[in-house]
Structure 1
Protein backbone atom coordinates (compact mmCIF):
# COMPACT_ATOMS: atom_id res chain seq x y z
CA UNK A 1 0.00 0.00 0.00
CA UNK A 2 1.49 3.31 -1.11
CA UNK A 3 0.81 6.34 1.05
CA UNK A 4 0.60 9.59 -0.89
CA UNK A 5 2.65 12.34 0.75
CA UNK A 6 0.70 15.55 1.18
CA UNK A 7 1.94 19.16 1.32
CA UNK A 8 0.90 19.19 5.01
CA UNK A 9 3.04 16.13 5.90
CA UNK A 10 6.42 16.20 7.62
CA UNK A 11 9.15 13.67 8.33
CA UNK A 12 10.28 13.82 11.95
CA UNK A 13 13.78 12.35 12.35
CA UNK A 14 14.40 11.54 16.01
CA UNK A 15 17.88 11.79 17.61
CA UNK A 16 19.98 10.27 14.83
CA UNK A 17 23.15 11.14 16.76
CA UNK A 18 26.56 9.58 17.21
CA UNK A 19 26.03 8.55 20.83
CA UNK A 20 23.03 6.43 19.84
CA UNK A 21 24.94 4.64 17.08
CA UNK A 22 27.48 1.80 17.43
CA UNK A 23 30.55 3.10 19.23
CA UNK A 24 28.56 5.78 21.02
CA UNK A 25 27.95 6.21 24.74
CA UNK A 26 24.40 4.83 24.54
CA UNK A 27 24.65 2.77 21.40
CA UNK A 28 21.52 1.30 19.86
CA UNK A 29 22.25 -1.93 18.01
CA UNK A 30 22.33 -1.28 14.24
CA UNK A 31 21.39 2.36 14.84
CA UNK A 32 23.71 3.50 12.06
CA UNK A 33 22.14 1.10 9.56
CA UNK A 34 18.99 3.21 9.21
CA UNK A 35 20.85 6.33 8.06
CA UNK A 36 20.78 5.60 4.29
CA UNK A 37 17.08 4.75 4.51
CA UNK A 38 16.32 7.95 6.45
CA UNK A 39 18.18 9.93 3.77
CA UNK A 40 16.03 8.32 1.08
CA UNK A 41 12.85 8.98 3.00
CA UNK A 42 13.79 12.61 3.54
CA UNK A 43 14.04 13.10 -0.22
CA UNK A 44 10.31 12.29 -0.47
CA UNK A 45 9.28 15.08 1.92
CA UNK A 46 9.25 18.83 1.40
CA UNK A 47 9.19 19.25 5.19
CA UNK A 48 11.75 17.54 7.43
CA UNK A 49 12.42 18.22 11.12
CA UNK A 50 15.35 16.84 13.11
CA UNK A 51 15.44 16.42 16.88
CA UNK A 52 18.67 16.43 18.87
CA UNK A 53 19.22 15.20 22.41
CA UNK A 54 21.24 18.01 24.03
CA UNK A 55 22.15 17.34 27.66
CA UNK A 56 24.21 19.47 30.05
CA UNK A 57 26.77 17.76 32.27
CA UNK A 58 25.23 16.46 35.48
CA UNK A 59 21.88 15.81 33.78
CA UNK A 60 19.24 14.17 35.98
CA UNK A 61 19.03 11.15 33.65
CA UNK A 62 22.71 10.26 34.01
CA UNK A 63 23.58 7.46 36.44
CA UNK A 64 26.80 9.37 37.18
CA UNK A 65 24.70 12.17 38.67
CA UNK A 66 23.33 9.81 41.33
CA UNK A 67 26.13 8.16 43.36
CA UNK A 68 25.62 4.48 44.00
CA UNK A 69 23.41 3.91 40.95
CA UNK A 70 24.14 2.19 37.67
CA UNK A 71 22.95 2.78 34.11
CA UNK A 72 19.56 1.29 33.25
CA UNK A 73 18.39 1.33 36.87
CA UNK A 74 15.23 3.29 37.66
CA UNK A 75 14.86 5.93 40.37
CA UNK A 76 12.06 8.22 41.48
CA UNK A 77 12.43 11.92 40.64
CA UNK A 78 9.90 14.74 41.19
CA UNK A 79 8.07 13.98 37.92
CA UNK A 80 7.97 10.19 38.40
CA UNK A 81 10.17 7.20 37.55
CA UNK A 82 13.36 7.93 35.63
CA UNK A 83 15.52 5.37 33.87
CA UNK A 84 19.19 6.18 34.38
CA UNK A 85 21.48 6.21 31.38
CA UNK A 86 25.21 6.46 30.70
CA UNK A 87 26.34 10.05 30.13
CA UNK A 88 25.35 10.76 26.52
CA UNK A 89 24.72 13.57 24.03
CA UNK A 90 26.61 16.13 26.09
CA UNK A 91 26.15 19.59 24.62
CA UNK A 92 28.76 20.44 21.94
CA UNK A 93 30.34 16.96 22.11
CA UNK A 94 30.95 14.71 19.12
CA UNK A 95 28.50 12.25 20.65
CA UNK A 96 25.74 14.85 20.46
CA UNK A 97 26.45 15.55 16.79
CA UNK A 98 24.29 14.04 14.08
CA UNK A 99 25.60 10.90 12.43
CA UNK A 100 28.04 12.10 9.76
CA UNK A 101 26.25 10.21 7.00
CA UNK A 102 22.90 11.89 7.73
CA UNK A 103 22.25 13.98 4.64
CA UNK A 104 19.14 16.13 4.93
CA UNK A 105 20.21 19.59 3.74
CA UNK A 106 16.62 20.79 3.41
CA UNK A 107 15.71 20.12 7.06
CA UNK A 108 13.72 23.13 8.23
CA UNK A 109 14.17 22.85 11.98
CA UNK A 110 16.56 21.27 14.49
CA UNK A 111 14.70 20.91 17.76
CA UNK A 112 16.93 20.38 20.79
CA UNK A 113 15.51 18.61 23.82
CA UNK A 114 16.75 17.42 27.20
CA UNK A 115 18.74 20.62 27.80
CA UNK A 116 17.09 21.32 31.18
CA UNK A 117 19.33 19.75 33.83
CA UNK A 118 16.49 18.75 36.18
CA UNK A 119 14.17 17.04 33.69
CA UNK A 120 14.58 14.46 30.95
CA UNK A 121 12.86 14.64 27.58
CA UNK A 122 11.98 11.61 25.47
CA UNK A 123 9.16 13.20 23.49
CA UNK A 124 9.80 15.84 20.85
CA UNK A 125 6.66 17.57 22.14
CA UNK A 126 6.78 17.47 25.95
CA UNK A 127 9.40 17.07 28.62
CA UNK A 128 9.06 14.00 30.83
CA UNK A 129 6.86 15.86 33.30
CA UNK A 130 4.23 15.62 30.50
CA UNK A 131 3.59 19.33 30.99
CA UNK A 132 6.53 21.46 29.80
CA UNK A 133 6.26 21.96 26.02
CA UNK A 134 9.22 21.95 23.64
CA UNK A 135 7.46 24.34 21.25
CA UNK A 136 7.29 21.84 18.39
CA UNK A 137 3.48 21.70 18.37
CA UNK A 138 3.23 25.45 17.94
CA UNK A 139 5.78 25.41 15.14
CA UNK A 140 3.89 22.67 13.28
CA UNK A 141 0.55 24.41 13.68
CA UNK A 142 1.87 27.73 12.44
CA UNK A 143 3.32 25.96 9.42
CA UNK A 144 0.07 24.08 8.78
CA UNK A 145 1.74 20.68 9.13
CA UNK A 146 -0.72 18.03 10.28
CA UNK A 147 0.57 14.51 9.61
CA UNK A 148 3.93 13.30 10.89
CA UNK A 149 6.00 10.30 9.85
CA UNK A 150 8.48 9.37 12.58
CA UNK A 151 11.80 7.59 12.21
CA UNK A 152 15.14 7.53 14.05
CA UNK A 153 16.35 6.46 17.49
CA UNK A 154 15.24 4.85 19.55
CA UNK A 155 11.98 3.10 18.68
CA UNK A 156 11.11 2.14 22.25
CA UNK A 157 11.89 5.50 23.86
CA UNK A 158 12.06 8.79 22.00
CA UNK A 159 10.24 7.64 18.85
CA UNK A 160 7.53 6.02 20.96
CA UNK A 161 6.99 9.01 23.23
CA UNK A 162 7.14 11.50 20.35
CA UNK A 163 4.45 9.60 18.44
CA UNK A 164 2.22 9.37 21.51
CA UNK A 165 2.86 13.00 22.45
CA UNK A 166 2.10 14.25 18.97
CA UNK A 167 -1.08 12.20 18.77
CA UNK A 168 -2.28 13.60 22.10
CA UNK A 169 -1.80 17.11 20.71
CA UNK A 170 -3.94 16.42 17.66
CA UNK A 171 -1.39 15.43 15.01
CA UNK A 172 -1.71 12.24 12.99
CA UNK A 173 1.46 10.26 13.69
CA UNK A 174 2.77 7.21 11.84
CA UNK A 175 5.95 5.32 12.75
CA UNK A 176 8.15 4.14 9.88
CA UNK A 177 9.19 0.98 11.69
CA UNK A 178 12.07 -0.21 9.51
CA UNK A 179 13.62 3.29 9.76
CA UNK A 180 13.96 2.92 13.53
CA UNK A 181 15.95 0.73 15.92
CA UNK A 182 15.28 -0.02 19.59
CA UNK A 183 17.28 0.14 22.81
CA UNK A 184 15.56 -3.17 23.58
CA UNK A 185 15.60 -3.24 27.36
CA UNK A 186 13.59 -6.19 28.74
CA UNK A 187 10.01 -5.85 27.51
CA UNK A 188 10.50 -2.39 26.00
CA UNK A 189 9.69 -3.33 22.39
CA UNK A 190 6.58 -5.26 23.37
CA UNK A 191 5.45 -2.41 25.61
CA UNK A 192 6.01 0.06 22.77
CA UNK A 193 4.02 -2.01 20.27
CA UNK A 194 1.14 -2.20 22.74
CA UNK A 195 1.31 1.52 23.61
CA UNK A 196 1.22 2.54 19.95
CA UNK A 197 -1.67 0.18 19.22
CA UNK A 198 -3.62 1.57 22.18
CA UNK A 199 -3.36 5.07 20.69
CA UNK A 200 -4.18 3.81 17.18
CA UNK A 201 -0.76 4.90 15.92
CA UNK A 202 0.05 3.05 12.73
CA UNK A 203 3.37 1.30 12.22
CA UNK A 204 4.24 1.34 8.53
CA UNK A 205 7.14 0.34 6.30
CA UNK A 206 9.34 2.66 4.31
CA UNK A 207 8.14 0.78 1.23
CA UNK A 208 4.75 2.43 1.78
CA UNK A 209 6.38 5.82 1.14
CA UNK A 210 9.29 5.33 -1.25
CA UNK A 211 8.39 5.88 -4.89
CA UNK A 212 11.58 4.37 -6.27
Structure 2
Protein backbone atom coordinates (compact mmCIF):
# COMPACT_ATOMS: atom_id res chain seq x y z
CA UNK A 1 0.00 0.00 0.00
CA UNK A 2 1.14 3.55 -0.63
CA UNK A 3 2.52 5.53 2.28
CA UNK A 4 -0.02 8.29 1.65
CA UNK A 5 -3.43 6.77 2.27
CA UNK A 6 -6.50 7.95 0.40
CA UNK A 7 -9.42 6.65 2.46
CA UNK A 8 -12.62 5.80 0.60
CA UNK A 9 -16.18 4.97 1.59
CA UNK A 10 -15.28 1.30 1.08
CA UNK A 11 -12.70 1.39 3.89
CA UNK A 12 -13.39 0.71 7.56
CA UNK A 13 -11.40 1.45 10.69
CA UNK A 14 -11.63 -1.37 13.22
CA UNK A 15 -10.73 -0.27 16.76
CA UNK A 16 -10.06 -3.28 18.98
CA UNK A 17 -10.80 -3.29 22.74
CA UNK A 18 -9.59 0.15 23.85
CA UNK A 19 -11.04 -0.45 27.30
CA UNK A 20 -10.02 0.54 30.82
CA UNK A 21 -8.90 -2.94 31.86
CA UNK A 22 -6.37 -3.01 29.01
CA UNK A 23 -4.90 0.39 29.94
CA UNK A 24 -2.53 1.38 32.75
CA UNK A 25 -4.08 0.49 36.11
CA UNK A 26 -6.45 -2.02 34.54
CA UNK A 27 -6.84 -5.68 35.40
CA UNK A 28 -5.03 -6.85 32.25
CA UNK A 29 -3.03 -3.77 31.32
CA UNK A 30 -1.21 -3.78 28.01
CA UNK A 31 2.02 -1.78 28.46
CA UNK A 32 1.24 1.74 27.28
CA UNK A 33 -2.24 0.71 26.19
CA UNK A 34 -3.79 4.13 26.69
CA UNK A 35 -1.17 5.67 24.41
CA UNK A 36 -3.05 4.38 21.37
CA UNK A 37 -6.00 6.67 22.09
CA UNK A 38 -4.71 9.94 20.55
CA UNK A 39 -3.56 8.09 17.43
CA UNK A 40 -6.86 6.22 17.07
CA UNK A 41 -8.86 9.44 17.50
CA UNK A 42 -6.77 11.22 14.90
CA UNK A 43 -6.99 8.40 12.37
CA UNK A 44 -10.74 7.94 12.92
CA UNK A 45 -11.37 11.46 11.63
CA UNK A 46 -10.39 10.21 8.17
CA UNK A 47 -12.96 7.41 8.08
CA UNK A 48 -16.69 7.40 7.33
CA UNK A 49 -16.87 3.84 8.68
CA UNK A 50 -15.62 3.11 12.22
CA UNK A 51 -16.29 -0.07 14.21
CA UNK A 52 -15.36 -0.56 17.86
CA UNK A 53 -15.03 -3.91 19.61
CA UNK A 54 -15.59 -4.43 23.31
CA UNK A 55 -14.57 -7.41 25.43
CA UNK A 56 -17.70 -8.23 27.43
CA UNK A 57 -17.22 -11.23 29.71
CA UNK A 58 -19.41 -12.86 32.38
CA UNK A 59 -17.74 -13.27 35.79
CA UNK A 60 -17.55 -17.05 35.36
CA UNK A 61 -15.86 -16.91 31.97
CA UNK A 62 -13.77 -19.95 31.04
CA UNK A 63 -10.70 -17.85 30.23
CA UNK A 64 -10.37 -16.38 33.74
CA UNK A 65 -7.61 -18.01 35.79
CA UNK A 66 -9.47 -17.58 39.13
CA UNK A 67 -12.19 -19.85 37.75
CA UNK A 68 -9.67 -22.73 37.56
CA UNK A 69 -8.43 -23.73 41.05
CA UNK A 70 -4.68 -24.09 41.17
CA UNK A 71 -4.11 -22.20 37.92
CA UNK A 72 -2.35 -18.87 37.56
CA UNK A 73 -2.77 -16.11 34.98
CA UNK A 74 -0.93 -16.73 31.70
CA UNK A 75 -0.87 -20.49 32.16
CA UNK A 76 -2.71 -22.45 29.49
CA UNK A 77 -5.38 -25.14 29.46
CA UNK A 78 -6.77 -27.40 26.73
CA UNK A 79 -10.37 -26.77 25.76
CA UNK A 80 -12.42 -28.44 23.06
CA UNK A 81 -11.45 -25.70 20.61
CA UNK A 82 -7.73 -25.81 21.45
CA UNK A 83 -5.20 -24.14 23.75
CA UNK A 84 -6.61 -21.35 25.90
CA UNK A 85 -4.47 -18.81 27.75
CA UNK A 86 -5.82 -18.11 31.22
CA UNK A 87 -6.16 -14.40 31.93
CA UNK A 88 -6.73 -12.30 35.03
CA UNK A 89 -10.42 -11.47 35.45
CA UNK A 90 -11.01 -8.52 33.13
CA UNK A 91 -13.67 -6.63 31.16
CA UNK A 92 -16.55 -8.11 33.14
CA UNK A 93 -19.72 -6.83 31.52
CA UNK A 94 -21.20 -3.80 33.22
CA UNK A 95 -18.04 -2.92 35.17
CA UNK A 96 -15.86 0.18 34.88
CA UNK A 97 -13.02 -1.99 33.57
CA UNK A 98 -15.12 -2.99 30.58
CA UNK A 99 -15.89 0.60 29.63
CA UNK A 100 -14.08 2.30 26.77
CA UNK A 101 -11.20 4.56 27.76
CA UNK A 102 -12.68 7.93 28.65
CA UNK A 103 -10.63 9.77 26.01
CA UNK A 104 -11.60 7.48 23.13
CA UNK A 105 -13.85 9.29 20.65
CA UNK A 106 -16.61 6.69 20.56
CA UNK A 107 -19.03 9.11 18.91
CA UNK A 108 -17.44 8.36 15.53
CA UNK A 109 -18.37 4.68 15.71
CA UNK A 110 -21.10 3.30 13.45
CA UNK A 111 -21.12 -0.03 15.29
CA UNK A 112 -19.95 -1.58 18.57
CA UNK A 113 -19.31 -5.34 18.51
CA UNK A 114 -19.28 -7.05 21.91
CA UNK A 115 -17.34 -10.30 22.10
CA UNK A 116 -16.47 -12.95 24.67
CA UNK A 117 -19.89 -12.88 26.28
CA UNK A 118 -20.40 -16.65 25.99
CA UNK A 119 -19.15 -18.31 29.19
CA UNK A 120 -17.52 -21.33 27.57
CA UNK A 121 -15.49 -19.78 24.78
CA UNK A 122 -13.06 -16.90 24.46
CA UNK A 123 -13.15 -14.45 21.58
CA UNK A 124 -10.01 -12.66 20.45
CA UNK A 125 -11.10 -11.92 16.90
CA UNK A 126 -13.68 -9.30 16.02
CA UNK A 127 -15.09 -11.70 13.40
CA UNK A 128 -15.11 -15.16 15.01
CA UNK A 129 -14.84 -16.61 18.46
CA UNK A 130 -11.87 -18.84 19.25
CA UNK A 131 -13.49 -21.97 17.84
CA UNK A 132 -13.12 -20.28 14.42
CA UNK A 133 -16.76 -21.14 13.69
CA UNK A 134 -19.00 -18.96 15.87
CA UNK A 135 -19.45 -15.57 14.15
CA UNK A 136 -19.73 -12.26 15.96
CA UNK A 137 -21.84 -10.79 13.14
CA UNK A 138 -19.15 -8.37 12.00
CA UNK A 139 -18.31 -10.30 8.85
CA UNK A 140 -21.90 -10.04 7.64
CA UNK A 141 -21.94 -6.34 8.45
CA UNK A 142 -18.78 -5.68 6.45
CA UNK A 143 -20.12 -7.59 3.46
CA UNK A 144 -23.59 -6.01 3.60
CA UNK A 145 -21.98 -2.56 3.68
CA UNK A 146 -19.74 -3.58 0.73
CA UNK A 147 -16.61 -2.58 2.63
CA UNK A 148 -13.36 -3.72 1.04
CA UNK A 149 -10.34 -2.70 3.12
CA UNK A 150 -10.07 -3.13 6.88
CA UNK A 151 -7.63 -0.97 8.85
CA UNK A 152 -7.01 -2.39 12.32
CA UNK A 153 -5.93 -0.57 15.48
CA UNK A 154 -6.13 -1.18 19.23
CA UNK A 155 -5.27 -3.74 21.90
CA UNK A 156 -3.49 -6.01 22.04
CA UNK A 157 -1.42 -6.27 18.86
CA UNK A 158 -0.42 -9.89 19.38
CA UNK A 159 -3.83 -11.23 20.40
CA UNK A 160 -7.10 -9.52 19.51
CA UNK A 161 -5.64 -7.23 16.83
CA UNK A 162 -3.76 -10.16 15.29
CA UNK A 163 -6.73 -12.56 15.26
CA UNK A 164 -9.03 -9.87 13.86
CA UNK A 165 -6.61 -8.95 11.08
CA UNK A 166 -6.00 -12.60 10.19
CA UNK A 167 -9.69 -13.44 10.03
CA UNK A 168 -10.49 -10.40 7.93
CA UNK A 169 -7.71 -11.30 5.50
CA UNK A 170 -8.83 -14.93 5.27
CA UNK A 171 -12.36 -13.68 4.57
CA UNK A 172 -11.07 -11.88 1.48
CA UNK A 173 -10.58 -8.30 2.65
CA UNK A 174 -7.53 -6.17 2.10
CA UNK A 175 -6.12 -5.60 5.60
CA UNK A 176 -3.68 -3.09 7.05
CA UNK A 177 -2.61 -2.91 10.69
CA UNK A 178 -1.72 0.60 11.85
CA UNK A 179 1.10 -0.29 14.21
CA UNK A 180 1.48 3.16 15.80
CA UNK A 181 -2.11 2.78 17.03
CA UNK A 182 -1.54 -0.66 18.61
CA UNK A 183 0.32 -2.00 21.64
CA UNK A 184 1.31 -5.60 22.37
CA UNK A 185 1.60 -7.86 25.41
CA UNK A 186 4.40 -10.12 24.07
CA UNK A 187 4.06 -13.45 25.86
CA UNK A 188 7.05 -15.54 24.88
CA UNK A 189 7.58 -14.04 21.45
CA UNK A 190 3.98 -13.44 20.44
CA UNK A 191 4.75 -10.04 18.89
CA UNK A 192 7.40 -11.53 16.58
CA UNK A 193 5.02 -14.35 15.68
CA UNK A 194 2.35 -11.77 14.87
CA UNK A 195 4.61 -9.93 12.43
CA UNK A 196 5.55 -13.20 10.75
CA UNK A 197 1.89 -14.11 10.38
CA UNK A 198 1.14 -10.73 8.84
CA UNK A 199 3.92 -11.25 6.29
CA UNK A 200 2.72 -14.75 5.47
CA UNK A 201 -0.88 -13.63 4.92
CA UNK A 202 -0.14 -10.43 3.03
CA UNK A 203 -1.39 -8.13 5.78
CA UNK A 204 0.16 -4.68 5.45
CA UNK A 205 1.71 -2.90 8.45
CA UNK A 206 1.55 0.88 8.14
CA UNK A 207 2.41 3.83 10.32
CA UNK A 208 0.52 6.87 11.53
CA UNK A 209 2.34 9.10 9.06
CA UNK A 210 0.33 7.51 6.24
CA UNK A 211 -2.76 9.28 7.57
CA UNK A 212 -1.33 12.73 8.23
The TM-score, its normalising length taken from structure 1, stands at 0.98
**Residue 146 of structure 2: aligned partner:** 144
**Residue 18 of structure 2: aligned partner:** 16
164, 177, 198: which one pairs with 2:200? 198
**Residue 5 of structure 1: aligned partner:** 7
Instruction: State the distance in 2 between where 1:184 and 1:106 align.
Output: 30
**Residue 75 of structure 1: aligned partner:** 77
Moved segments of 4+, more than 2 Å = none
For structure 2, the 5+ residue unaligned runs are none
Instruction: State the distance in 1 between where 2:98 and 2:106 align.
Output: 17
**Residue 121 of structure 1: aligned partner:** 123
Count of aligned positions? 210
Deviations 1:109-157 (A, max 9, x none): 0000000000000000010001111110101111111111000000000
The TM-score, its normalising length taken from structure 2, stands at 0.98
Deviations 1:43-76 (A, max 9, x none): 0101100000000011010001111100000110
For structure 1, the 5+ residue unaligned runs are none
Instruction: State the distance in 1 between where 2:68 and 2:200 align.
Output: 34
2:37 aligned with 1:38: no
Tell me whether 12-21 or 167-176 shows the greater mean CA deviation.
167-176
Instruction: State the distance in 1 between where 2:108 and 2:43 align.
Output: 12
Instruction: State the distance in 1 between where 2:110 and 2:13 align.
Output: 11
Deviations 1:147-203 (A, max 9, x none): 110000000000000000111111111000010000111111111111111101010
Q: Is the 8 A contact 1:42 1:104 kept in 2?
A: no
